[in-house]
Structure 1
Amino acid sequence: MPTNIAELRLGGASEAELATLQRLADELSADYTVFYSRHVADLTPRRQAFGEIDFVIVNQSGDVVLIEQKNGSLQEAEDDLGIRYAGQAAVG
């Protein structure tokens, strides 16, 4: 669990994500480890894709949950979900 939430705030981290991080710190037991804002990569012989995941939560058994937090209006389509940020088109 990151212990430097105040430093993350000074570094420009999302306030909504920091609120989630604080809630995880307050409500999860020590049986869980939380990683915040981790870089991820998908590498194959034909392509490379890089990104970031907001929260990686691991328990002592090795179970993992990944959370990508979106802070905007959810846009539902027939077969897709997207997020609309202020002044932008929906992103699926």
Structure 2
Amino acid sequence: MNLTTREVSRDGKAITLTPREFQLLEQFMRQPGRVLSKAQLTEKVWDSDFDRGSNVVEVHVHQLRKKIDKGFESPLLETVVGVGYRLRGATNTQ
């Protein structure tokens, strides 16, 4: 992930993300291995007035997961049931 150019790649393959997906991935990459709750992601990525009862976080995480994990041997984004989500594996944020 290159924060300056806003480009993302995995194993040399460019990945196109929406601005919100990019923000989500940035939060995960800044804290690899740490479980981030829906509330934490909402606070960091969405407006503080955002409806926390909405499933928009789950929808965006699902879309992000399809883009960064589909077609690769091991998934990076995992769900920790009842807690939140975390990014596994080595990361590189510039």
| Structure 1 length-normalised TM | 0.30
Bigger RCO (CA 8 Å, 6+ sep): 2
| Structure 2 length-normalised TM | 0.29
The structure richer in strand per residue is: 1
The structure richer in helix per residue is: 2
- When Rg is computed on C-alpha atoms for both structures, the one with the higher figure is 1
